[in-house]
């Protein structure tokens, strides 16, 4: 998930690559600051114009399944969203093994995963 977040961070920041570090800060038991996250940027693998075009496509509600528009909308934010699944064949037909969702704005990236930790298929109505 961190590698996926790294990729979407480059899209989120218009081609600027920020090194992923999920730890914002560490404080001692008395509240004194021991560590604070430093934002580190690196050269990106995608141009700002390509990142902008991809964000425009992924945030256009006309490109989303109709039920997504209400489920993955936040008033005042233009969210870009991309999902994916992997299926497993069962005697009763294909069923989802897992699913993921990546959403982002220019300043935030969120990655979600759902599935059974043992790799077994989910229920048909899991989504």
Q: Residue 121 falls within a domain, yes or no?
A: no
The answer to whether residue 122 sits within a structural domain is no
Could you report the per-residue pLDDT of 66-83, keeping only the tens digit for each? 887 777 777 888 889 998
More confident residue, 52 or 14: 52
pLDDT at position 127, please?
62
pLDDT number for residue 108: 85
| Structural domain total, the chain | 1
Residues 31-46, mean pLDDT to the nearest whole number: 86
Q: Is 49 within the bounds of a domain?
A: yes
Asked whether residue 120 is assigned to any structural domain, the reply reads no
- Contact predicate 99/123, CB 8 Å: no
Q: Which residues pair with 98 in a beta bridge?
A: 86, 115
pTM for the predicted model, two decimal places: 0.73
Taking CA atoms, 35 is separated from 26, 28, 31, 59, 62, in Å, by 5, 9, 11, 35, 44
- Between these two residues, 114 and 20, which has the higher pLDDT value? 114
> Does residue 111 fall inside a structural domain?
yes
Domain of residue 6: give its range. Answer: 2-115
Per-residue pLDDT of 98-117, as tens digits, reads: 999 999 988 889 999 999 98
Q: Is residue 91 part of a domain?
A: yes
Rounded to the nearest angstrom, the gap between the alpha carbon of residue 95 and the centroid of all alpha carbons in its chain is 23
Q: Would 123 be classed as within a structural domain?
A: no
52 to 16, 55, 84: CA distances (angstroms): 11, 5, 21
Do 17 and 41 touch, CB atoms closer than 8 A? yes
């Amino acid at each position: 998930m961190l590698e996926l977040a790294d990729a979407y961070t480059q899209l989120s920041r218009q081609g600027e690559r920020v090194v992923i570090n999920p730890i914002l800060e560490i404080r001692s038991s008395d509240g004194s600051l021991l560590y604070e996250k430093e934002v580190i940027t690196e050269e990106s693998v995608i141009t700002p114009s390509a990142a902008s075009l991809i964000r425009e496509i992924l945030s256009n509600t006309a490109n989303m399944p109709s039920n997504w528009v209400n489920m993955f909308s936040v008033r005042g934010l233009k969210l870009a969203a991309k999902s994916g699944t992997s299926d497993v064949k069962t005697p009763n037909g294909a069923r989802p093994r897992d699913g993921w969702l990546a959403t982002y704005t220019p300043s935030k990236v969120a990655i979600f995963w759902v599935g059974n930790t043992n790799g077994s298929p989910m229920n048909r109505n899991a989504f």
